[in-house]
A and B are shown apart, each in its own frame.
Chain A
């Protein structure tokens, strides 16, 4: 995994999808900007992510039927596309989270053994 300069991170493809799905589940329906702001907040770093990179993840999730989108007005009367988690999305989150934890556990174990 390469990381570009200026502290920006590129993520494993499936990882970003999982993060977005999780964020939408906890926050409720949200637009891409809102999501990006939330992710930056969690990451503790204002520009850790090109906000544009979210769109590929969003379209993947939507095509899989895990989230659905509608155009709505924001509080400031701007229009924005809001994304919400579907029922199958909620089920998928459980499954993918479990998978991720298993994978992370495995990677951690490998890394520890390699370095010892």
Chain B
């Protein structure tokens, strides 16, 4: 069937050069006619009769040419080429319209390209492991505490017993100080089971990973970045030594670029099981590979059964704990997907509004082109031919919009990513796939907004163009498009309003803190190089030197600063009470004596820590109000003993007010503070109160002070308390900013639409208005009539939009704080904003109508 291909190729070639083939054909037909004439002359006809007879015998010359043209090339492609040229000419001729339409589309398409790029990278792109469909993530789920990572004993049971799993690996995220290299670094690492890499199916690019025997605790596997950064990508890096948290380790392997499991981790060391054989200690991120043929639900059923067995065997720790098994992709992306889907929906709404707007513009323009189109119809162009040409114009428009949209997306994506901490967002960029998606979106948008106007326009027949002034069909079309825009704008405005209200309410949540003057610096002192006594003295010295800085009012050290995410939930007991079934837990923090003073937190009762609360003095603790309310209701907690992290009981000596520790939208949890000297933990925050409201300014001095105390100590990060606070809002910020931008875009587009439609109506009805005024209508009547005309579609749109908003804002529920999805105040505000903006848009054209001079209007006719 080679000839099919050959013919196709030749037809295609003829599309490119129609004139050459046409000339050849004309020559051939002329020759043919001459031969025919010769024949007829031979039969005895006169020259003229012969020519006539030849023509008759040949048939229609133009028809023959047309038929041959159809056969030799692709006619529609030929036409399309001509249509594109024609469209380009038409668009060049009205630059104002073209620019407005292209910009509108660029915003709509650009927003979608940007969001879709992110959605694809985060949610749709397969995980970078072989056979990613077989990978699962497992978490444990408590009936009332919710979801948590997995304990080591539970993990080991699953690994050894689950038949639906080919492998089950685990990782415990840690943070490490990397030294023994040029630049010390503090970074994320993980203790992993030896089978983790095998489970994920990734081999090192250099060296090996951990052997199955767990005795080896001296080795480390590095990420590609660390290898390049610290070893200059040297092949002999394997075998070199580095120091992790003060412990010497040998590099045995380097993972390929892009490998980071768990996310953000840059080096891996073997998991030492004895260290954490505790069924109450949830620490492991568990990922498994399904056995061939097994499904996620097989694994779920099997692990649920194992969890039920453990709950029966170990009720003290495993009661009420179940499991949650999901694909590794869902496990990784988790809750981020929800807000991305919402944003994608909002971006889609913006594109819809943009399409409706350009559709409105096209309809108005089509009226102005009535003459041209009637002329073409009169000259024999079929309706479908005219529609095709009009559609070509709108597709050309939307392709231009798409190109501009790619530029918009290119600049939007980095801004978008800077607003958020999405999983898997490390290497997001526009790629060919996105360009292709944008192309498809552009063409579909072009067809979407072009179809209805083209259908309405191509209906103009010769007679109507001449006789009828107004036109009915495109009038209702424009109104419908407008209603659609307004309704979309109401939905987006409501959504943005709801998020805005939540954001505002969160901002004004009483954190119990006044932190405008607080700077924090985070450290980690590894046990190997900083034994406990050393830690205490080191922090004492650091505090003393920092306090001596000129701009510093006070300084202290705490193990977990509010909103840093460092607080730990720990179980405790009350020795005077019988052991209860349910676990008592509270956030556990260690602080130096000056902490409450530095933070400006007044104690509600009892005393704060003193310098006399040393490791050898009686153990004490300060608890917060929530702890007192929950665990000592109706009693005075001061004087009570608790036992936490160690055999020695602690006496409660003070009560402090509640602070929000984890997140603004969660209520304050019970908290136990102990003196740092009595629990010298390694990971700490240096908290500095400055004398003025610009704590950022003392950051260099604090950094220098820390270095003067210990030059090997890396500071993980220096941040003001307000920065830490706004970090916790980052996912909300993304949603809020984007949805607000989308709502604003959609509002502007609809207002432009309202203005455009009324301005057009006024210009078309000038004569009618003139007649009315000549017959005695007052200026006021005309003004009101025009405002009514202009606002009618707005009112309908608002009504539709309200109904839609009440239904669709429900998807926002989980993102809201202290606001219901159908919050009446927000709905009313959205409607008022839209009405006010529309009214502003209507007034201009309406006044123009009222200023019509009846004489001039009638003369124009």
Contacts and interface: CB of A to CB of B under 8 A. Distances in A.
Interface of A: 31-34, 36-37, 47, 50-53, 55-60, 63-66, 74, 76, 78-81, 88, 92
B35 A63 contact: no
B3 A56 contact: no
A51 B36 contact: yes
B566 interface: no
A56 B67 contact: yes
A88 B11 CA distance: 19
Find the residue from B25, B28, B36, B65 having the highest chain A CB count within 10 A. B28
Contacts of B57: 36, 47, 51
A64 B36 contact: no
Contact of B6 (A32, A58, A59, A64): A64
B694 interface: no
A50 B58 contact: yes
B30 to A, nearest CB: 10
Contact of A63 (B6, B29, B67): B6
Interface string B62-104: 0111011011100000000000000000000000000000000
> Which 9 A-B residue pairs are closest in the complex by CB-CB distance?
A52-B64, A50-B59, A64-B3, A56-B71, A33-B35, A55-B68, A56-B67, A63-B10, A63-B7
B31 A55 contact: no
What's the dominant secondary structure at chain B's contact region? helix
Given A53-B59, A63-B7, A65-B3, A32 B32 contact: yes
Contacts of B58: 50-52
29 contacts: A31-B35, A33-B31, A33-B39, A36-B57, A50-B58, A50-B59, A50-B60, A51-B32, A51-B36, A51-B57, A51-B58, A51-B59, A52-B59, A52-B60, A52-B63, A53-B64, A55-B25, A55-B67, A56-B70, A60-B7, A60-B71, A63-B10, A63-B71, A65-B7, A66-B3, A74-B35, A78-B31, A81-B31, A92-B3
Given A51-B32, A55-B29, A81-B31, 7 more contacts: A33-B35, A33-B39, A37-B39, A52-B58, A52-B59, A52-B63, A53-B67
Contacts of A53: 59, 64, 67
B298 interface: no
Given A52-B63, A53-B59, A63-B11, A78 B70 contact: no
Contacts of A37: 39
B725 interface: no
Interface in B399-430: none
Interface residues of B, number: 31
Nearest to B25: A55
A79 B63 contact: no
B645 interface: no
A28 B272 CA distance: 91
Contacts of B59: 50-53
Contacts of B68: 55-56, 58-59
Contacts of A76: 38
Nearest to A13: B71
A38 to B, nearest CB: 13
B34 interface: yes
A27 B251 CA distance: 86
Contacts of A64: 3-4, 6-7
B3 A52 contact: no
A53 B415 CA distance: 64
Find the residue from A34, A56, A59, A79 having the highest chain B CB count within 10 A. A59
B466 interface: no
Find the residue from B11, B61, B64 having the highest chain A CB count within 10 A. B64
A92 B72 CA distance: 19
Contacts of A32: 28, 32
A12 B649 CA distance: 103
A80 B3 contact: no
Nearest to B33: A33
Find the residue from A52, A59, A78 having the highest chain B CB count within 10 A. A52
B762 to A, nearest CB: 54
A97 B368 CA distance: 57
Contact of A59 (B31, B34, B72): B72
Contacts of A65: 2-3, 6-7
Contacts of B72: 59, 63
Contacts of A33: 31-32, 35-36, 39
A33 B38 CA distance: 11
